[in-house]
């Protein structure tokens, strides 16, 4: 892996994206009716989502080699943006004005923290 610290930041942001994708897949699975409780928990959506979440956890842990611990929660906040966009694309959810304003505030907070 490169010694460039930005590589670790990009990797961290990618891990948050993967975790967000996992959440959207779990929601998609929850929207389906299953015949039994076992099929509700052991289906391709749920298994795939947990596989992605596990991979995301490994990427996040590895990313901390180059990302300060104080920056982790700030980067993790991008997950709200990813979930909103992925929900729109995959689940066909609408982005309300309130959600858009909330996401803009999150981005502003990230920028303020990152550049101060």
pLDDT value at 2 more than 70:
no
Mean pLDDT, range 12-32, rounded to an integer: 95
The helix (H) or strand (E) run that includes residue 108 is helix 97-115
Q: pLDDT: is 31 or 111 the higher one?
A: 31
User: pLDDT band at 86, cuts 50/70/90?
Assistant: very high
CA 91 to CA 95: how far, in whole Å? Answer: 11
Q: What pTM, to 2 d.p., does this model score?
A: 0.86
CA atoms within 13 A on the CB side of 19: 19
Nearest to 59 by CA among 13, 96, 115, 105: 13
Mean pLDDT of the chain: 91
User: pLDDT band at 1, cuts 50/70/90?
Assistant: low
Nearest to 17 by CA among 94, 76, 63: 76
**In the structure, how many helices (H) and strands (E) does the chain have?**
6, 0
Tens of pLDDT along 100-110? 999 899 889 88
pLDDT value at 65 more than 70:
yes
Q: By 3-state DSSP, what share of the chain in percent is helix, strand and coil, each rounded to 5?
A: 80, 0, 20
């Amino acid at each position: 892996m490169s010694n460039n610290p930005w590589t670790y930041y990009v990797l961290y942001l990618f891990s948050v994206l993967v975790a967000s994708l996992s959440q959207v897949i779990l929601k998609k699975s929850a929207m389906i009716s299953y015949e039994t409780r076992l099929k509700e928990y052991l289906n391709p959506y749920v298994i795939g989502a947990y596989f992605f979440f596990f991979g995301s956890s490994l990427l996040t842990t590895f990313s901390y080699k180059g990302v300060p611990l104080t920056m982790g929660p700030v980067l993790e906040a991008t997950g709200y943006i990813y979930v909103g966009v992925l929900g729109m694309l995959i689940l066909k959810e609408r982005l309300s004005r309130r959600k858009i304003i909330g996401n803009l505030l999150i981005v502003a907070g990230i920028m303020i923290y990152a550049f101060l």
